[in-house]
Structure 1
């Protein structure tokens, strides 16, 4: 098998980015946003602008920094080896947390077909762990197989969500949207802040292309394009679908729905169509989890290739799949699922999402700041430098605001995770210390300049 046949194309990579973002985030989003009312739709403005700015900056990093490593490589440009490790470590943890959250979400949808899964904490945990291992096994086929499967499962999102964005306007009633605007009478700024973690969760995954550079054909061209195309497409679908559904289903009903897209299709057509949409949602969640498992394994492999994670993560099969690393990732996610076991899927999901967002945002910030050094080394012209810096400011402002909006509990948890990361790096830091370093203290004496 040729080496190029094992790698992912631009279409497959763009699909992976879109699936990672849309596969689970959008399916439950209308219900979560309805808790605050239609005023929450305004948060899309901030998140869409911020996410596009972040994606653009990552694309520019990919153009001017062609080395492998994705976000971690960009971080190292500004923050040295420790930055590479901490970015990879935090991103790895955030993906593992997110995978458990996506699996819980998928099991929640499946309860309509298998009621036993929703009968208590143990069935929910069994279903979650089962889905985690199912998607890990499916990734044993390598990057190209993951891309092909993702190209199929993405229709589980495209059909109900994009379809609603197009045809839902025939059932749209502006009076329903107006009545649902702000039922809790919150200040607009507070409503937006409360919704930012939800909309940010929907956009997490825009960086998936950058994390998979080693498994992509022509990464210098395809990685930046996949980041931009995937994020732009998701933004359009998110805004249209969540707006139209708020104008079809009364807010009180939408806020209590466990399957908002299935519910709206059942109202528009009939319950049978609603069940079909539910099945498509399950397929989309599984596809999303499959894509995240691929990205998680690639992140661990890339870090192991830099001698910062155990070597077993870098060992790949003839199909290009780091099987041993995937198994370790599966064990880690299983432990996370067991440690957060709860009979309340939505509560468990919410806590995991907030923690995943925080541990994801910190690598975003460190990688974004690397763009300044990357442009300096590449010798870009003043026009490009100024334009990219302005976009960078927008991306960083949004990232800091999103961190604040995630709440004190999630930020505290993320800080603890970061502190443990510094401990881990302290253990391996000696691997990167220069053995030939000369200077004060290298031989127990001071330099002549210091003693003069």
Structure 2
């Protein structure tokens, strides 16, 4: 029997970086320009926190023997309720992130075709993209997955180009003029953009999913995850800062298509339009993949009894259509409820809420790492180093929560508590499942008599 060739540490590092260099960066230069080039301080904070998270997740992936990713990690310390809450908030954050990606695509479409849509038209266009990418997945994920694997380069190529050759157009006077337009203190500037910079790193935990496909995973997975995260951080910092030295700060902050704008400045408006078209395709390709992925997150949780059985129903192609339609209805509601006359404000609302809900599973996973190491018998001295990294990652996560703003924290708290209510409604299925397991384990397969 032939043994499948496994990835090298270099290949896994590249895969990890590519996984993070997605549509999350498409609107970032404009959002950071609202703070100024001094937002590089936020990048440094987020890069440090993301490296700590990446290493801790790599250790979780290597040590955990429970299925379900972050939900399995949380179960070590918080039981089934922790597993459920992790999957619930993670799935919810992906739902919100999809709406934000769709808003991003609409912003670029406006610039590409020189449209001036009002807030309702932006909301309807956002919802139309969500519907289109959901229906496209009804035949299964094979074709849409291939499309996403190609279109993601519509983001990566422009970002890499501006990070390297963009320096030939860099003007230090423009950069200095936009350094701190609102006279923020260094402390304020460092915290002002933590949430939006973390948005670009969301998904770093998924890099640990390939541990079985790499040589010497105990050594190479942490190296690849850290290397990929560091590589993505360098590209993010270079690209956003070089753009801040090419485009005047007020113009950059007002743009809904910053990468199209910078390529138009560097070359010609026609090149800028090509880049905008590529980025629109990349966002649509990203949505195609995430719509199916989210449905699978809810399906796997329904299979284990955490979510309603309707999310587990599939058609002949293995597509959970009923679940996808329910999730589409939630995304449609989000698209309507977050409508704002300013597209940038709508994007802010969605991103901050997506970050808050995504930080819940991050924090639960970091808190469970000590229990995971104890369960796996990791020596105390070796466990201490990992625990310190997890504490740093947790501290960064709380900072990101704080910087997300009062509205996002309030709404995030409400939807998290709603998750406990939904868990209560569905917990009878888990109780029945546990009772059946105990019955099967008892002598002769009969349940023990109650003392009462």
Question: What TM-score bracket applies, with the shorter chain setting the length?
Answer: 0.7 to 0.9
Partner of 2:62: 63
CA drift of 1:381 comes to 3.0
Partner of 1:40: 39
CA-to-partner distance for each residue in 1:60-89, whole Å, 9 max, x for gaps? 111111432111111111100111111111
CA drift of 1:397 comes to 0.9
Question: Unpaired segments of 5 or more residues in structure 1?
Answer: 445-452
Shift in CA distance, 149/19, structure 1 to aligned 2, threshold 3 Å: farther
Partner of 2:447: none
Give runs of aligned pairs for residues 111-260 of structure 1, distance below 5 A.
111-115=110-114, 118-140=116-138, 142-209=140-207, 227-228=225-226, 230-260=228-258
Q: Give the TM-score of the pair, scaled to structure 1.
A: 0.86
Shift in CA distance, 220/153, structure 1 to aligned 2, threshold 3 Å: farther
Q: How far apart, in 2, do the equivalents of 1:20 and 1:131 lie?
A: 22
Name which of structure 1's ranges 35-44 and 316-325 shifts more when overlaid on structure 2: 316-325
Tell me the secondary structure at the aligned position of residue 352 of structure 1. Answer: helix
Contact 1:15 1:154 in 2 (8 A): no
Q: How far apart, in 2, do the equivalents of 1:147 and 1:380 lie?
A: 38
Partner of 2:294: 296
Shift in CA distance, 31/22, structure 1 to aligned 2, threshold 3 Å: same
- Pairing 1:280–2:282 present: no
Shift in CA distance, 300/224, structure 1 to aligned 2, threshold 3 Å: farther
CA drift of 1:153 comes to 1.0
CA drift of 1:417 comes to 0.9
Shift in CA distance, 189/341, structure 1 to aligned 2, threshold 3 Å: same
Partner of 1:395: 393
Partner of 2:446: none
CA drift of 1:217 comes to 6.4
Shift in CA distance, 55/26, structure 1 to aligned 2, threshold 3 Å: same
Shift in CA distance, 296/120, structure 1 to aligned 2, threshold 3 Å: same
Partner of 2:328: 330
CA-to-partner distance for each residue in 1:185-221, whole Å, 9 max, x for gaps? 11111112111111011111222356x789x968995
Q: How far apart, in 2, do the equivalents of 1:404 and 1:167 lie?
A: 36
Q: How far apart, in 2, do the equivalents of 1:249 and 1:49 lie?
A: 28
Shift in CA distance, 239/46, structure 1 to aligned 2, threshold 3 Å: same
Shift in CA distance, 279/219, structure 1 to aligned 2, threshold 3 Å: farther
Give runs of aligned pairs for residues 265-414 of structure 1, distance below 5 A.
265-317=263-315, 320-414=318-412
Name which of structure 1's ranges 346-355 and 17-26 shifts more when overlaid on structure 2: 17-26
Shift in CA distance, 299/10, structure 1 to aligned 2, threshold 3 Å: farther
Partner of 2:79: 80
Q: Give the TM-score of the pair, scaled to structure 2.
A: 0.86
Alignment root-mean-square deviation, CA: 3.1
Q: How far apart, in 2, do the equivalents of 1:264 and 1:113 lie?
A: 13
CA drift of 1:282 comes to 0.9
CA drift of 1:146 comes to 4.5
Work out the number of aligned pairs and report it: 431
